[in-house]
Amino acid sequence: MRYSTQQILILLAILPTIGTALLAGRNWRRLPAAMRPLAMLSFFALLTEVVSRILWFLKLSNLFIWPIYICVEFALLLELYNRAGYPAFLQKKRWYLIIGLVGLASLEAGLRSTQPLLIDNAVRLVESLLLIGLVLLYYHHSLQAITEQHIWQQPLFWVSTGLLFFFVGNFLIYTFINFALFYSQQFNYQLWLVHAGLNSVLYCLYAYAIWISLRK
Protein backbone atom coordinates (compact mmCIF):
# COMPACT_ATOMS: atom_id res chain seq x y z
CA MET A 1 0.00 0.00 0.00
CA ARG A 2 1.29 3.45 -0.92
CA TYR A 3 0.84 6.36 1.45
CA SER A 4 0.69 10.04 0.58
CA THR A 5 3.15 12.53 2.03
CA GLN A 6 0.39 13.90 4.26
CA GLN A 7 -0.41 10.43 5.62
CA ILE A 8 3.27 9.74 6.35
CA LEU A 9 3.66 13.05 8.19
CA ILE A 10 0.54 12.33 10.23
CA LEU A 11 1.91 8.90 11.15
CA LEU A 12 5.31 10.37 12.11
CA ALA A 13 3.64 12.83 14.48
CA ILE A 14 3.77 10.08 17.10
CA LEU A 15 7.54 10.60 17.52
CA PRO A 16 7.34 13.53 20.03
CA THR A 17 4.83 11.49 22.07
CA ILE A 18 7.25 8.56 22.14
CA GLY A 19 10.09 10.86 23.21
CA THR A 20 8.03 12.43 25.99
CA ALA A 21 6.84 9.06 27.30
CA LEU A 22 10.41 7.69 27.28
CA LEU A 23 11.74 10.75 29.12
CA ALA A 24 8.97 10.51 31.72
CA GLY A 25 9.32 6.75 32.15
CA ARG A 26 13.08 6.80 32.48
CA ASN A 27 12.95 9.52 35.15
CA TRP A 28 9.70 8.54 36.90
CA ARG A 29 11.27 8.19 40.35
CA ARG A 30 12.92 11.61 40.08
CA LEU A 31 9.84 13.39 38.81
CA PRO A 32 8.21 15.82 41.25
CA ALA A 33 4.77 14.61 42.36
CA ALA A 34 3.24 17.70 40.76
CA MET A 35 4.46 16.60 37.32
CA ARG A 36 3.42 12.95 37.48
CA PRO A 37 -0.06 13.56 36.00
CA LEU A 38 1.71 14.90 32.89
CA ALA A 39 3.90 11.79 32.76
CA MET A 40 0.83 9.55 33.06
CA LEU A 41 -0.82 11.53 30.27
CA SER A 42 2.18 10.92 28.00
CA PHE A 43 2.00 7.15 28.70
CA PHE A 44 -1.73 7.03 27.99
CA ALA A 45 -1.36 9.18 24.88
CA LEU A 46 1.32 6.85 23.50
CA LEU A 47 -0.87 3.80 24.14
CA THR A 48 -3.80 5.54 22.44
CA GLU A 49 -1.71 6.55 19.43
CA VAL A 50 -0.32 3.03 18.99
CA VAL A 51 -3.76 1.39 19.18
CA SER A 52 -5.20 4.04 16.86
CA ARG A 53 -2.53 3.44 14.24
CA ILE A 54 -2.91 -0.34 14.43
CA LEU A 55 -6.65 -0.01 13.80
CA TRP A 56 -5.95 2.42 10.96
CA PHE A 57 -3.54 -0.03 9.29
CA LEU A 58 -6.18 -2.76 9.67
CA LYS A 59 -8.75 -0.42 8.08
CA LEU A 60 -10.89 -0.48 11.24
CA SER A 61 -12.52 2.57 12.80
CA ASN A 62 -10.56 4.13 15.65
CA LEU A 63 -13.12 6.85 16.39
CA PHE A 64 -14.40 5.09 19.53
CA ILE A 65 -11.01 5.61 21.20
CA TRP A 66 -11.01 9.39 21.17
CA PRO A 67 -13.87 10.16 23.59
CA ILE A 68 -12.10 7.91 26.11
CA TYR A 69 -8.78 9.63 25.49
CA ILE A 70 -10.33 13.11 25.77
CA CYS A 71 -11.88 12.32 29.16
CA VAL A 72 -8.65 10.84 30.55
CA GLU A 73 -6.60 13.74 29.15
CA PHE A 74 -8.98 16.27 30.70
CA ALA A 75 -8.89 14.55 34.11
CA LEU A 76 -5.08 14.34 34.19
CA LEU A 77 -4.62 17.96 33.11
CA LEU A 78 -7.03 19.13 35.81
CA GLU A 79 -5.05 17.10 38.34
CA LEU A 80 -1.82 18.67 37.06
CA TYR A 81 -3.15 22.19 37.65
CA ASN A 82 -4.76 21.15 40.93
CA ARG A 83 -1.41 19.96 42.30
CA ALA A 84 0.09 23.30 41.32
CA GLY A 85 -2.77 25.16 43.03
CA TYR A 86 -3.98 26.95 39.86
CA PRO A 87 -6.79 27.88 40.29
CA ALA A 88 -7.85 27.14 43.87
CA PHE A 89 -11.41 26.05 43.00
CA LEU A 90 -10.10 22.93 41.24
CA GLN A 91 -9.45 21.28 44.59
CA LYS A 92 -13.19 20.86 45.18
CA LYS A 93 -14.77 21.38 41.77
CA ARG A 94 -12.60 19.38 39.37
CA TRP A 95 -14.61 16.17 39.78
CA TYR A 96 -17.80 17.96 38.76
CA LEU A 97 -16.05 19.10 35.58
CA ILE A 98 -14.70 15.61 34.88
CA ILE A 99 -18.04 13.89 35.47
CA GLY A 100 -19.76 16.51 33.33
CA LEU A 101 -17.37 15.92 30.43
CA VAL A 102 -17.70 12.13 30.73
CA GLY A 103 -21.48 12.54 30.69
CA LEU A 104 -21.31 14.71 27.58
CA ALA A 105 -19.01 12.21 25.86
CA SER A 106 -21.40 9.35 26.68
CA LEU A 107 -24.42 11.32 25.48
CA GLU A 108 -22.75 12.32 22.23
CA ALA A 109 -21.56 8.76 21.60
CA GLY A 110 -25.12 7.53 22.05
CA LEU A 111 -26.56 10.15 19.72
CA ARG A 112 -23.90 9.47 17.08
CA SER A 113 -24.26 5.67 17.24
CA THR A 114 -26.38 5.75 14.07
CA GLN A 115 -23.77 7.90 12.30
CA PRO A 116 -20.52 5.93 12.79
CA LEU A 117 -18.53 7.97 10.26
CA LEU A 118 -19.00 11.27 12.10
CA ILE A 119 -16.47 12.41 14.69
CA ASP A 120 -17.67 13.22 18.21
CA ASN A 121 -16.62 16.85 18.11
CA ALA A 122 -18.86 18.41 20.79
CA VAL A 123 -16.89 16.92 23.69
CA ARG A 124 -13.60 18.07 22.11
CA LEU A 125 -14.95 21.60 21.62
CA VAL A 126 -16.11 21.79 25.25
CA GLU A 127 -12.79 20.41 26.50
CA SER A 128 -10.93 22.97 24.37
CA LEU A 129 -12.90 25.89 25.81
CA LEU A 130 -12.51 24.69 29.40
CA LEU A 131 -8.76 24.16 29.10
CA ILE A 132 -8.21 27.48 27.30
CA GLY A 133 -10.03 29.14 30.21
CA LEU A 134 -7.90 27.22 32.72
CA VAL A 135 -4.68 28.26 30.97
CA LEU A 136 -5.74 31.92 30.94
CA LEU A 137 -6.51 31.73 34.68
CA TYR A 138 -3.04 30.27 35.24
CA TYR A 139 -1.41 33.08 33.24
CA HIS A 140 -3.40 35.70 35.15
CA HIS A 141 -2.41 34.24 38.52
CA SER A 142 1.25 33.77 37.61
CA LEU A 143 1.71 37.23 36.11
CA GLN A 144 0.06 38.83 39.15
CA ALA A 145 2.18 36.91 41.67
CA ILE A 146 5.24 38.81 42.89
CA THR A 147 7.29 35.63 43.25
CA GLU A 148 6.91 34.67 39.59
CA GLN A 149 9.77 36.84 38.28
CA HIS A 150 10.91 34.18 35.82
CA ILE A 151 7.72 32.52 34.69
CA TRP A 152 9.47 30.84 31.76
CA GLN A 153 11.48 28.78 34.28
CA GLN A 154 8.28 27.15 35.56
CA PRO A 155 7.38 23.78 33.96
CA LEU A 156 3.68 24.62 34.08
CA PHE A 157 4.27 27.73 31.98
CA TRP A 158 5.49 25.58 29.07
CA VAL A 159 2.67 23.10 29.54
CA SER A 160 0.18 25.98 29.50
CA THR A 161 1.75 27.54 26.42
CA GLY A 162 1.52 24.25 24.56
CA LEU A 163 -2.08 23.76 25.67
CA LEU A 164 -3.07 27.25 24.57
CA PHE A 165 -1.71 26.80 21.04
CA PHE A 166 -3.02 23.25 20.76
CA PHE A 167 -6.56 23.84 21.98
CA VAL A 168 -7.10 27.10 20.12
CA GLY A 169 -6.12 25.23 16.96
CA ASN A 170 -8.12 22.20 18.04
CA PHE A 171 -11.25 24.27 18.54
CA LEU A 172 -11.04 25.54 14.97
CA ILE A 173 -10.25 22.09 13.56
CA TYR A 174 -13.07 20.28 15.36
CA THR A 175 -15.54 23.00 14.42
CA PHE A 176 -15.10 22.06 10.75
CA ILE A 177 -13.96 18.43 10.94
CA ASN A 178 -17.29 16.76 10.11
CA PHE A 179 -17.86 19.24 7.29
CA ALA A 180 -14.41 18.34 5.91
CA LEU A 181 -15.27 14.62 5.93
CA PHE A 182 -17.98 15.19 3.33
CA TYR A 183 -16.51 18.19 1.53
CA SER A 184 -13.13 16.89 0.43
CA GLN A 185 -10.76 14.09 1.45
CA GLN A 186 -7.85 16.40 0.65
CA PHE A 187 -9.20 19.10 2.95
CA ASN A 188 -9.79 16.47 5.62
CA TYR A 189 -6.16 15.31 5.42
CA GLN A 190 -4.96 18.91 5.57
CA LEU A 191 -6.89 19.47 8.80
CA TRP A 192 -5.44 16.31 10.33
CA LEU A 193 -1.97 17.35 9.19
CA VAL A 194 -2.38 20.66 11.05
CA HIS A 195 -3.66 18.70 14.05
CA ALA A 196 -0.62 16.41 13.90
CA GLY A 197 1.69 19.45 13.80
CA LEU A 198 -0.02 21.04 16.81
CA ASN A 199 0.15 17.75 18.70
CA SER A 200 3.87 17.44 17.93
CA VAL A 201 4.53 20.94 19.27
CA LEU A 202 2.43 20.19 22.36
CA TYR A 203 4.39 17.05 23.23
CA CYS A 204 7.72 18.76 22.58
CA LEU A 205 6.68 21.38 25.15
CA TYR A 206 5.51 18.63 27.52
CA ALA A 207 8.94 17.03 27.22
CA TYR A 208 10.65 20.37 27.87
CA ALA A 209 8.46 20.93 30.94
CA ILE A 210 9.40 17.50 32.29
CA TRP A 211 13.08 18.18 31.61
CA ILE A 212 12.92 21.52 33.45
CA SER A 213 11.23 19.88 36.44
CA LEU A 214 14.07 17.33 36.65
CA ARG A 215 16.67 20.12 36.83
CA LYS A 216 15.06 21.76 39.88
Higher-confidence residue of 113 and 41: namely 41
Domain of residue 107, residue span: 5-215
pLDDT at 155 over 90: yes
Q: Tell me which range, 92-101, 115-124, 205-214, is most confidently predicted by mean pLDDT.
A: 205-214
With cut-offs at 50, 70 and 90, classify the pLDDT of residue 8.
Answer: confident
Provide the percentage of residues in the chain whose pLDDT is more than 70.
93
Q: How many domains does the chain have?
A: 1
pLDDT at 64: 86
pLDDT at 151 over 90: no
Q: DSSP letters along the chain, please?
A: ----HHHHHHHHTTHHHHHHHHHHHHTGGGS-GGGHHHHHHHHHHHHHHHHHHHHHHTT---TTHHHHHHHHHHHHHHHHHHHHTSSTTHHHHHHHHHHHHHHHHHHHHHHTTT-TTS---HHHHHHHHHHHHHHHHHHHHHHH-TT-S-GGGSHHHHHHHHHHHHHHHHHHHHHHHHHHHHH-HHHHHHHHHHHHHHHHHHHHHHHHHHHHHHH-
pLDDT digits (tens, 9 = 90+) for 24-37: 999 999 999 999 99
